[in-house]
């Protein structure tokens, strides 16, 4: 393996681990029955704060997933 393959492989592993962490940090879209019961206890500002964090994590997931796909293609081409 040359230096380019090693660098792309390390980047690929870092991207895969970060994608797992980002996806696990996101909250579920539908909370089910427990969300409808406990949802009344949240304030208006608390809901908006959670939505902005979820939106930010969603954008990070998209960026990391695209980078992961690009490194996958590069690894196939150089190996």
Taking the C-alpha atoms of residue 36 and residue 41, their distance in angstroms, rounded to an integer, is 10
- What does pTM read for this prediction? 0.71
Residue 59 lies in a domain: yes
Task: Look at the chain and report how many structural domains it folds into.
Answer: 1
Residue 67 lies in a domain: yes
Residue 58 lies in a domain: yes
Please give the pLDDT value at position 24: 92
Please give the pLDDT value at position 67: 97
Rounded average pLDDT over 2-26: 94
Taking the C-alpha atoms of residue 37 and residue 59, their distance in angstroms, rounded to an integer, is 29
- Quick: pLDDT tens for 31-63: 555 555 555 455 555 556 556 888 899 999 999
- Residue 10 near residue 75, CB atoms below 8 Å: no
Domain that holds residue 41: 3-25+35-78
Residue 30 lies in a domain: no
Rounded average pLDDT over 2-28: 93
Please give the pLDDT value at position 5: 93
């Amino acid at each position: 393996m040359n230096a380019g393959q090693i660098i792309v492989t390390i980047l690929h592993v870092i991207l895969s681990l970060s994608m797992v962490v980002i996806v696990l940090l996101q909250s579920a879209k539908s909370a089910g029955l427990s969300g409808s019961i406990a949802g009344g206890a949240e304030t208006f500002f608390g809901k908006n704060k959670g939505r902005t964090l979820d939106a930010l994590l969603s954008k990070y997931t998209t960026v990391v997933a695209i980078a992961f796909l690009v490194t996958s293609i590069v690894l196939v081409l150089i190996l």
